[in-house]
Amino acid sequence: MTLLAGPCVIESEENIFKIAKSLEIYQNDPSIDFYFKSSFDKANRTSLDSFRGLGLEEGLRILEKVKKDFGYKVVTDVHESHQVKQVAEVVDMLQIPAFLCRQTDLLVACAMTDKEVNIKKGQFINPPDMRYSVAKVLKTRGCDEVSYEASKKHGVFLCERGSSFGYGNIVVDMRSLVIMREFAPTIFDATHSVQAPGALGGKTGGDRTMVPYLAKAAAAVGVDGFFFETHFDPSIALSDGPNMIKLDELDTLIKRIKRIREI
């Protein structure tokens, strides 16, 4: 099972290392392929005044230190094609944010590296149309076939985080997991799937109590992995706090997901 987990954004080196330390259990679990996730920049915040992160240089320095000290594989978002080469020197997986999943130059720039690419489905995209985003990466890597097997071979993932129509809520259609797995190994993003965009007056709200239910449902449908943003105290997190699962609750949920997958 692939697992991407970590805080939404790099708030400080101290917080990152506190969270990273708590996730060592997954690095040491032979049944889990673990990636530490955090963003050096959140370029799609609702408000101009919202905290975005520590920036490219400082963020990569911290992620590189996490990788060195803990031995983790690392994944982070890239928002612009000119960032890709520098970010790829540090991370193991490049993540395409949902709002940018059709951005051709960004997808091609990621495809031209030797890193895995995780494409988050846009909240506005019909699930079958994600095959075209996958194709942009695969064709750049010399593969004309768009299939689960081809994407697995070339390190391309899709990530579901629900659909929204601009009315302040995100809804997950579990059929999308089945549809997208025709094109690529699929990760379920359980924490962003409970967002309520703009619900806090210029900030994104959400309901983390729904995360376990959606995650267990996705495990029952069948996915290749999970994405959880997590924090020791989501109430003080500087980004996506209402959606993040508490570190001390994550392990219970992972154990339940693994039992469902075993069944």
Band the pLDDT of 12: cuts 50, 70, 90.
very high
The more confidently predicted of residues 242 and 16 is: 16
Q: What is the pLDDT of residue 76?
A: 98
Residue 150 to residue 12: CA distance in whole angstroms: 38
Three-state SS at 110: helix
Given pLDDT bands bounded at 50, 70 and 90, which one contains residue 200?
Answer: low
Give the residue-averaged pLDDT of 163-171: 84
Query: What pLDDT, on a 0 to 100 scale, did the predictor assign at position 250?
Result: 96
- Does the pLDDT of residue 199 top 90, yes or no? no
Averaged pLDDT, 232-240: 91
Contacts by 102-110, CB closer than 8 A, 24 or more apart: 102/132, 102/133, 104/136, 105/81, 106/78, 106/79, 106/80, 106/81, 107/133, 107/136, 107/137, 107/140, 108/81, 108/136, 108/137, 108/140, 109/78, 109/81, 109/82, 109/84, 109/85, 110/78, 110/84, 110/137
**Would you place residue 4 in the very low, low, confident or very high pLDDT band (cuts 50, 70, 90)?**
very high
| Confidence bin at 166 (pLDDT 50/70/90) | confident
| Confidence (pLDDT) at 87 | 98
222 torsion bin: left (phi>0), alpha (psi -120 to 50), beta (else): left
Whether 191 contacts 208, CB under 8 Å? yes
Beta-bridge partner residues of 147: none
What local confidence, expressed as pLDDT, does residue 197 receive?
74
pLDDT band at 195 (very low <50, low <70, confident <90, very high): confident
What pLDDT, on a 0 to 100 scale, did the predictor assign at position 45? 81
Query: Is the dihedral angle over the CA atoms 174, 180, 181, 182 positive or is it negative?
Result: positive
Task: Classify 164 as helix, strand or coil.
Answer: coil
When mean pLDDT is compared across 24-28, 215-219, 239-243, the lowest value belongs to 239-243
Query: Which domains, ranges and CATH numbers included, belong to the chain?
Result: 2-262 (3.20.20.70)
Distance CA(76)–CA(31), nearest Å, equals 23
Phi/psi at 90 (5° precision) = -110, -45
pLDDT in tens, 79-134: 999 999 999 999 999 999 999 999 999 999 999 999 999 999 999 999 999 999 99
Contact 60, 94 (CB under 8 A): no
pLDDT value at position 198? 66
